[in-house]
Structure 1
Amino acid sequence: MKKTLFCAATAAMAIVSSPAMAQEAGDIQLKVVGTFVSPDGGIEEVVVDGVGLPAGTDTAANDNFVPTIAVEYFVSKNFSIETIAGTTQHDVDAVSGLPAGTEVVSNALLLPATFTAKAHFDLGGVKPYVGAGGAYFIWLRDSAGGGIVPLGATDADLSNELGFVLQAGVDIPVNDSGFGVTLDAKRYFIDTTLQVRAGDTLVLETDHKLDPWVLSAGVSYRF
């Protein structure tokens, strides 16, 4: 993925052939990108264990690739605020303790509500930026995985949580009409708590590290 983003940046810089549109306060930039989401998903702590997890049990969440839209407002020439729109779906499977691949959480659908403040730097044909902000992870859907249903699990819930995000990237104008190519990397710092129930009884509660890398590449339009 890192090699792909580097190649895309190289190709984009090669096609820059006309002056970039001047940046102004009040500008809005829309981005349509393909996004690679790579969370951790490991167990940080077992809080409640009513099912007798084997010693050393750990889990991981699968990666995903999804479309994303970003909307950015320039407060000044070199400062902007940005939010993203998109969802990503993940399973959480055992990697140790339980048989590898045992599905713990199935089809968890995440809305990673994210707002960042960004500082931009003008290097001529390339405009890098850095940013930071907050995120609220909202689980729109989650259910007990097939691997724990035989243990009596009837429901699995992941907690919505607040977290922190760091961001860096580059915007590369391709003409003076506002169109460009964009590359972006975010690292989130956020956890979640999994609660598994058998009927109304809480039988398992575990804290999980998410901390996903979110890497995006696509096109932009500024107006």
Structure 2
Amino acid sequence: MKKQLVAAAILSTLLSGAAFAQQTPEGSWMVRARAVHLQSDNGGGTTPALNLSMNNKWMPEVDVSYFFNPNVAVELVLTVPQKHTLYANGTDIGTFKHLPPVLLAQYHFPMNGFKPYVGAGVNYTRFSSVNLKVPGADIDRNSWGPALQVGVDIALSKGLYLNLDMKKVYIRTDVSLGGNKIGDFKADPLLVGVGLGWRF
């Protein structure tokens, strides 16, 4: 009985927030802060003999969106450089940091305070602080790739939203040994996040 009452209270809060948001004009800007779980695809790229992979992790994420109208927006996703461990066949072979800003064009579907959206865009990843234990081994410092997104903003009160978001980001970098390319590493992480958004 208590669980049912709590669930009803939460649903009532979300619905009342949604109704309030529909009655209030909204600004063109939105800022979101999320906790995001990065899960690497670890496909290995074109170096299957090495079976390259990197660790999964939680990380902070912030994005800034601009709405051209109620349906169309652009979003810039930012974080701080993230440190990862690189593995070959399950053995730790070193570390690196990567900074993966993403720029997305979005289409939003306003539905009584529940606002699902889809997005597509481009990701640029900068690798830094590369420290590999294998003599002569290195990775390329730059990666460009597409990014896909789906999510929803749920109105809580005027200008305040609960955000659920999922992105697939395509990241691939060349792997070299002694200055010669021996293949590439495909990370292609899935980013699943939850957070709050402020519309103004």
The alignment's TM-score, normalised by the length of structure 1, stands at 0.76
* CA distance in 2: counterparts of 1:62 and 1:35, whole angstroms: 14
Instruction: Give distance in 1, aligned partners of 2:85 and 2:103.
Output: 25
Change (3 A) 1:205 1:221: same
Distance in 1 separating the partners of 2:147 and 2:25: 25
Residue type at the aligned position of 1:183: L
Match of 1:91 in 2: 85
8 Å Cα contact 1:31/1:220 also seen in 2: yes
Partner secondary structure for residue 174 of structure 1? strand
Q: 1:213 to 1:157 in 2, by over 3 A?
A: same
Contact 1:60/1:94 (<8 A) preserved: yes
Q: Structure 1: any 5+ residue segments left out of the alignment? A: 1-9, 47-54, 96-100
Asked whether the 8 Å contact 2:136–2:179 carries over to 1, the reply is no
The match for 1:158 among 125, 140, 156 is 140
Q: Are 1:58 and 2:51 counterparts? A: yes
The answer to whether the 8 A contact 1:37-1:213 is kept is yes
User: Residues 167, 73 of structure 1: CA spacing in aligned structure 2 closer, same or farther, 3 A cutoff?
Assistant: same
Deviation at residue 135 of structure 1 after TM alignment: 0.7
Q: Indicate conservation of the 8 Å contact 1:12/1:172, yes or no.
A: no
Residue 15 in structure 1 maps to residue 9 in structure 2: no
> C-alpha separation between the residues in 1 aligned to 2:190 and 2:10?
23
Matched, 1:183 2:164: yes
Q: How does 1:1-223 map to 2 (within 5 A)?
A: 15-16=13-14, 17-18=16-17, 19-20=20-21, 22=24, 24=26, 27-46=28-47, 56-87=49-80, 88-95=82-89, 101-106=90-95, 108-145=96-133, 148=134, 153=135, 156-176=138-158, 178-196=159-177, 201-202=178-179, 205-223=182-200
What's the TM-score, normalizing by structure 2?
Answer: 0.84
Q: Which runs of 5+ in 2 are unaligned?
A: 1-7
Moved more, 11-20 or 29-38: 11-20
Alignment partner, residue 52 of structure 1: none
Given that 1:80 and 1:119 are in contact with CA atoms closer than 8 Å, whether structure 2 keeps it comes out as yes
Cα separation, 2, equivalents of 1:23 and 1:161: 40
Question: 2:114, 2:162 → 1: CA distance?
Answer: 10
Cα separation, 1, equivalents of 2:9 and 2:121:
30
Q: What displacement does 1:102 show?
A: 1.4
Cα distance in 1 for residues equivalent to 2:186 and 2:111: 37
Which whole-Å CA distance do the structure 2 matches of 1:216 and 1:127 have between them?
Answer: 16
| Counterpart-to-counterpart distance in 2, 1:12 and 1:80 | 29
Matched to 1:45, the amino acid is T
| Matched letter for residue 127 of structure 2 | W
Task: Tell me the SS of whatever aligns to 1:15.
Answer: helix
* Number of residue pairs matched by the alignment: 188
Is the 8 Å Cα contact of residues 30 and 221 (structure 1) preserved in structure 2? yes
Q: Shift in Å at residue 194 of structure 1? A: 2.0
SS at match of 2:45: strand
